[in-house]
């Protein structure tokens, strides 16, 4: 290669890399350095903290900058390797063409060899220089894979999503800042073993705390990690050793999350917390007449409104021993004036005495305004094959929903019967299911299971579930790896459900990523988020965000509207109906409204607390625009509910506006043309009038 060409190529590469680094420094690194120094300075403001705590805080502040530097070095190293390999490939191709011995080349061949090598290497640079310009931008607009298993998520202040990741003995709190961007907030060590987590505000400070259940042999060791003002650090408070994973729910209705679980002997463990996050007092006295239960293994207890009064009940998944074996026995407890007690409407045993069942689900599957209990009926104990669904509703009892699994098996976590996740993927008003299915010896496939009408079903079933044949476009690393879990996830907060996937790459540890699912036709939605009422309109005076930002588990909503074809649409749902066994239940309520552009006639929202006055625990909104997101904060005192509505225009509205604008433009053009013709005719007529001979004047 000639020296001038080599120098020009090197200068071109150097200029492109320098420009990329300068842009990255202006747009990213300077802000990161500023935040790092400010964060480190803030760590030193807490005079009561120990030296080790301050050092850990400063180290966490520096972690983002260190990660950015490592990423930059890795990407630039990869770019250099690609250029080197491409240049070697060019040289090898020319050697194969002209021969390995350069001394035998003629002068013409040598000139051709050098000229071809110059052009090939220059083309390598041209092909790979755009990579340098997109090193940073790739992380800005795409969702990178994150290392760890998705333990749980919740919604924080400002509608930012928080994903809790387990990476061996570490828990990583990752905040979703904007579309496609996740930021590691903090990391803390919880210990070795299988860890399950639940999120909640246990001490009423409007910050998310973590309930950790760690399995050791056949017992679960529990602790709560309370967030502190010091750089999102956490302080651990040990709890009891229980027989199964404990729930994080609000038992007494004060907006603070409590812990509810069971000892190995079946007695109840119920604990509230003080302002500093330490255990305060037992709340067992609120459950009048409770004796013991034997929790059904591998399934979560549910907290949802099954009676249609917008006040959530707790359904404990008990185990009943019969002659045919151990059976699932749901027991419903309702909230009354003096506490909780078992409701008169008992859920009877599932017809058929099915010995093997999966984790029950809570959703309004037939869209009649009342939430049902859906229980997968399994063929064997491992629940890899589901034959049908048993469906219980408050007004009609048990019925059956048909399901054809075809030749697939269902993949689930070890020691868990959580087979499906629920969400209205098609936004037609009927909740669908999501599962990871395995066919023969192949790897897992993500499949949406559609909720469709059934006209000839037996056993009073009106709906059935069938596997959607759509194939999702997956990232390369996901396609080559092993998918372990999938769940619905509204990543862009636009009412259209995307898919969270947990997978194990061909090489490396477990990661999670996302699949965008935008193209669902011109359908509309209604999204409701109910936050805890532990503070007023603005919990932080310096923030413009509304309320605490912590989802109130067990808050429910229902709606009704006309569909434009003489019928009506109804629906009911509760946020966070399950918090254990990686149920990954949504911290919001999402209703699909189908293709109807009509307003929602009525939306009723219920808070998970008892009150003699209906207006204190229930609120109704009327005439709501479709494609709306509503944030609701129940009152601390009195009956004034705080609501805020955000509207996202649908494609139908935008298309209608475009058509109206086009019609108006065409009408204006017609009017302008007619006006022009009229003026032209008037001018001709005036000219004729001026040239006409006036006989009367003679």
Residue pLDDT, tens place only, 151-170: 555 554 444 567 777 666 67
Residue 220 is encoded by which pair of tokens? 């679960």
Q: What is the pLDDT of residue 607?
A: 93
Strands of 394-431, DSSP E? 397-403, 408-411, 421-423
- Top-confidence residue, 673 or 25: 673
Lowest-confidence segment of 77-91, 418-432, 615-629, 673-687 by average pLDDT:
77-91
Question: Can you tell me the mean pLDDT for 377-386?
Answer: 91
Rank 56-65, 162-171, 302-311, 530-539 by mean pLDDT and report only the highest.
302-311
Overall average pLDDT of the 123-145 stretch: 46
Per-residue pLDDT, averaged over 464-493, amounts to 83
The per-residue pLDDT for 555 is 94
Provide CB contacts within 8 A for 103, sequence distance 6+: none
pLDDT of residue 133: 41
Range from 122-126, 285-289, 512-516 that averages highest in pLDDT? 285-289
Whether 698 shows a pLDDT value over 60: the answer reads: no
- Judge contact between 234 and 226, C-beta under 8 A: yes
Is 50 exceeded by the pLDDT of residue 423? yes
Mean pLDDT, the chain, rounded, equals 81
C-alpha span between 142 and 360 (Å, rounded): 35
Higher pLDDT, 622 or 41: 622
- State residue 1's pLDDT score: 46
pLDDT band at 131 (very low <50, low <70, confident <90, very high): very low
pLDDT at 648: 74
Radius of gyration, CA atoms only, the chain: 32
Mean pLDDT of 114-141: 55
Ranking 129-143, 277-291, 592-606 by mean pLDDT, the lowest is 129-143
Compute the average pLDDT of residues 126-145.
43
Average pLDDT, integer, range 117-129: 67
Higher pLDDT, 389 or 687: 389
pLDDT mean over 614-642: 89
**Range in 79-83, 214-218, 593-597, 667-671 the model is least confident about:** 79-83
pLDDT at 181: 61
pLDDT of residue 172: 74
C-alpha separations of 517 from 159, 356, 490, 532 in Å: 20, 34, 10, 30
Pick from 154, 153, 152, 186: which is nearest to 170 by CA? 186
Percent of the chain with pLDDT over 70: 82
pLDDT band at 28 (very low <50, low <70, confident <90, very high): low
pLDDT given at position 318: 93
Q: Hunting for tokens 């930002």 — which residue is that?
A: 549
Work out the pLDDT band at 289, boundaries 50, 70, 90: confident
Q: How far apart are CA 580 and CA 577, in angstroms?
A: 10
Q: What is the pLDDT of residue 692?
A: 62
- Tell me what the mean pLDDT of segment 604-618 comes to: 90
Rounded Cα distance between 226 and 207, Å, is 9
| 140 pLDDT tier (thresholds 50, 70, 90) | very low
What pLDDT score was predicted for residue 171?
A: 76
Which band of pLDDT confidence, cut at 50, 70 and 90, is reported for residue 65?
confident
Can you tell me the mean pLDDT for 174-178? 66
- Separation CA 494–CA 525 (nearest Å): 9
Task: Return the higher-pLDDT residue of 34 and 555.
Answer: 555
C-alpha closest to that of 330 among 342, 345, 312, 348:
348
* pLDDT at residue 605, rounded to an integer: 95
Between 536 and 677, whose confidence is greater?
677
Closest CA to 474 of 496, 441, 507, 501: 501
634-688: per-residue pLDDT in tens?
Answer: 988 878 899 888 887 666 666 778 889 999 999 999 999 999 988 888 888 887 7
pTM across the whole model: 0.73
Residues 6+ apart with CB under 8 A from 254: 204, 534, 609
Whole-number pLDDT of residue 266: 92
pLDDT at position 136 is: 36
What pLDDT band is residue 556 in, cutting at 50, 70 and 90? very high
The per-residue pLDDT for range 297-328, each reduced to its tens digit, is: 999 999 999 999 999 999 999 998 887 788 99
The predicted pLDDT at position 391 comes to 92
Which pLDDT score, from 0 to 100, does residue 137 have?
30
Once rounded to an integer, what is the mean pLDDT over residues 76-86?
A: 71
572 vs 502, more confident? 572
Quote the CA–CA distance of 67 and 72 in Å, as a whole number: 9
Banded pLDDT at 142 (limits 50, 70, 90): very low
pLDDT at position 697 over 60: no
Query: CA nearest 437: which of 414, 419, 424, 425?
Result: 419
Crossing angle of helices 3-24 and 51-98, in 10° steps, is 150
pLDDT higher for 346 or 587?
587
Mean pLDDT lowest among 14-18, 232-236, 269-273, 507-511: 14-18
For residue 610, give both structure tokens. 């008892």
Residues contacting 535, CB < 8 A, separation 6+: 206, 547, 548, 636
pLDDT score of 132 more than 50: no
Tokens 């552009």, residue located? 597
Between 571 and 479, whose confidence is greater?
571
Number of Cβ within a 10 Å radius of residue 419:
22
The pLDDT of residue 161: 67
What's the CA gap between 433 and 423, in Å, rounded?
6
């Amino acid at each position: 290669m000639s020296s001038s060409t080599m120098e020009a190529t090197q200068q071109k590469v150097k200029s492109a890399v320098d420009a990329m680094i300068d842009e990255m420094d202006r747009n990213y690194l300077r802000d990161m350095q500023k935040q790092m120094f400010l964060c480190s300075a803030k760590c030193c403001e807490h005079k009561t903290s120990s030296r080790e705590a301050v050092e850990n805080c400063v180290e966490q502040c520096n972690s983002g900058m260190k990660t950015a530097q490592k990423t930059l070095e890795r990407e630039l190293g990869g770019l250099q390797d690609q250029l080197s390999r491409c240049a070697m490939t060019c040289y090898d191709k020319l050697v194969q063409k002209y021969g390995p011995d350069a001394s035998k080349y003629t002068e013409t061949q040598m000139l051709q060899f050098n000229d071809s090598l110059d052009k090939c290497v220059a083309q390598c640079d041209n092909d790979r220089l755009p990579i340098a310009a997109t090193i940073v931008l790739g992380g800005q607009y795409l969702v990178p894979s994150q290392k760890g298993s998705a333990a749980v998520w919740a919604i924080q202040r400002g509608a930012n999503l928080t994903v809790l990741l387990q990476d061996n003995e570490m828990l990583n709190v990752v905040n979703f800042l904007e579309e496609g961007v996740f930021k590691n907030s903090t990391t803390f060590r919880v210990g070795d073993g299988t860890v399950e987590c639940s999120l909640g505000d246990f001490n009423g400070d409007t910050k998310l705390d973590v309930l950790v259940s760690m399995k050791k042999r056949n017992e679960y060791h529990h602790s709560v990690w309370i967030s502190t003002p010091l750089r999102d650090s956490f302080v651990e408070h040990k709890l009891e050793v229980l027989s199964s994973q404990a729930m994080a729910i609000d038992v007494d209705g004060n907006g603070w999350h409590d812990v509810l679980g069971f000892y190995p002997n079946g007695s109840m463990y119920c604990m509230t917390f003080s302002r500093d996050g330490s255990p305060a007092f037992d709340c067992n006295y609120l459950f009048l007449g409770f004796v013991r239960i034997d929790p059904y293994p591998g399934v979560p207890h549910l907290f949802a409104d099954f009676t249609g009064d917008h006040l959530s009940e707790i359904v404990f998944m008990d185990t009943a021993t019969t002659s045919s074996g151990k059976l699932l026995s749901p027991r419903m407890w309702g909230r009354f004036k003096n506490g909780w007690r078992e409701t008169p409407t008992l859920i009877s045993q599932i017809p058929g005495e099915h010995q093997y069942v999966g984790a029950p689900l809570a959703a309004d599957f037939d869209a009649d305004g009342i939430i049902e209990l859906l229980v997968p009926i399994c063929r064997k104990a491992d629940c890899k094959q589901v034959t049908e669904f048993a469906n219980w509703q408050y007004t009609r009892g048990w019925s059956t929903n048909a399901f054809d699994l075809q030749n697939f098996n269902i993949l689930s976590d070890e020691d868990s019967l959580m087979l499906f996740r629920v969400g209205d993927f098609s936004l037609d008003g009927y909740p669908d299911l999501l599962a990871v299915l395995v066919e023969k010896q192949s790897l897992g496939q993500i499949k949406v299971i559609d909720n469709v009408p059934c006209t000839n079903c037996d056993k009073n079933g009106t709906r059935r579930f069938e596997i959607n044949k759509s194939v999702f476009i997956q990232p390369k690393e996901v396609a080559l790896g092993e998918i372990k879990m999938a769940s619905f996830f509204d990543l862009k907060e636009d009412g259209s459900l995307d898919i969270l996937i947990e997978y194990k790459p061909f090489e490396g540890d477990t990661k999670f990523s996302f699949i965008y699912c935008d193209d669902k036709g011109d359908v509309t939605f209604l999204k409701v988020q109910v936050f805890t009422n532990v503070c007023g309109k603005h919990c932080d005076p310096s923030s413009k965000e509304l309320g605490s930002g912590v989802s109130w588990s067990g808050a429910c909503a229902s709606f009704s509207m006309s569909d434009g074809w003489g019928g009506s649409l109804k629906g009911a749902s509760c946020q966070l109906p399950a918090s254990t066994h990686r149920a990954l239940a949504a911290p919001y309520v999402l209703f699909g409204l189908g293709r109807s552009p009509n307003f929602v006639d009525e939306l009723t929202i219920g808070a998970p607390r008892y009150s003699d006055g209906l207006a204190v625990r229930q609120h109704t909104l009327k005439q709501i625009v479709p494609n709306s997101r509503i944030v609701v904060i129940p009152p601390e005192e009195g009956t004034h509910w705080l609501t805020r509505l955000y509207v996202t225009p649908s494609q139908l509205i935008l298309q209608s506006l475009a058509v109206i604008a086009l019609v108006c433009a065409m009408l204006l053009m017609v009017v302008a043309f007619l006006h022009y013709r009229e003026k032209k005719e008037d001018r001709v007529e005036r000219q004729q009038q001026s040239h006409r001979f006036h006989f009367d004047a003679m």
